[in-house]
Every structure is written in C-alpha cells, then in structure tokens.
Amino acid sequence: MSSAAQRILVFSTNTISDPGIDLAGSSHMSYSPGVFVISLPCTSGIRPSWILHAIQRGFDGVFVASDGDECAYLPDCSERASHIVATAQQLLRDAGHDPQRLKLAAICSVCAEPFTRYIGQFAETLATLKPADMPVAAA
C-alpha cells in the first residue's frame, strides 16, 4: 500500500501537540490526508486497548503525539506514556500485529515540521509492513 493511502490515527494532546499539528495544517505543510486526529487532555489518558482496536478496525498505524515533559497534568507523563506504548505493543504482538504499527514521539506546540516529518517516516515504515488485516506470525 502506498504511504499516501494509509490511514493513521493520531492521539494528540489539547494544549501541547494539538497546536503543533494545527500549525502544520494552517501552514499548508504536506502530510497524508489519511491522518485522523483524536485530541485528549493528556497522553497518559490513552488506553492500550484503544490502539489495538484502531488497528483491528482498519487503521494502518497509530501515532501517539506525546506532550513529553511539558504535561500540565502529571509530572511523570512521559514515563506513563512509555508504559502505555509498551503495553499496547505487546497487545499488538499478542493479536498477531506488527508492533511497528505504533509510534510515539513528543510533539510540542510549535513542532509542525517535526510532526510532518515523523508522519512521513511512519507512513514509509507502514508501507513496508504486511497489511494490518494479515496478522504477523508469532516469533
């Protein structure tokens, strides 16, 4: 599948990564039209099961646009986000999906260029994987 046709679900945060993603759009920076954004107050609010559900429902990948160390809610948000991603990657493996279908990166409020670059690289990675509806053999 070409990277332009891929559906990527992005979990973003209201005050940190959303403005950076919005800036990419308002600056007319190019990234896949198959990117869908769900906004949350904090990265640590993501449930690993949501990530698995997204892949099972046809998304090619899930990108977590973390607020990193800038979270206004929790001082350990980065560690929590890393744990959520690790748990979600294990859920993906257990369900027969490649854990590379999940990407975590810190996106700040002015990180429009990094966001478009990360999404482009992620789409390229996804293009090398078997389709999501074809589970990967257990290793």
The answer to whether the pTM exceeds 0.85 is yes
Nearest in space to 10 (alpha carbons), one of 59, 53, 49:
59
Q: Which residues pair with 135 in a beta bridge?
A: none
What does the pLDDT average to over 104-117? 87
Which residue would you say has higher pLDDT here, 99 or 66? 99
- Cβ(63)–Cβ(8) below 8 Å: yes
Pick among 3.30.470.30, 3.40.50.960, 3.40.640.10, 3.80.10.10: CATH of 3-128: 3.40.50.960
pLDDT tens per residue, range 1-53: 554 578 999 999 888 888 888 888 888 888 888 999 999 988 888 999 999 99
For 8, the token pair is: 């990527």
Q: How do the domains of the chain map onto residue ranges?
A: 3-128
Neighbours of 82 (CB within 10 A): 15
* pLDDT at position 139 over 60: no
Q: CA-to-CA distance for 4 and 80, rounded, in angstroms?
A: 31
Q: CA-to-CA distance for 81 and 41, rounded, in angstroms?
A: 13
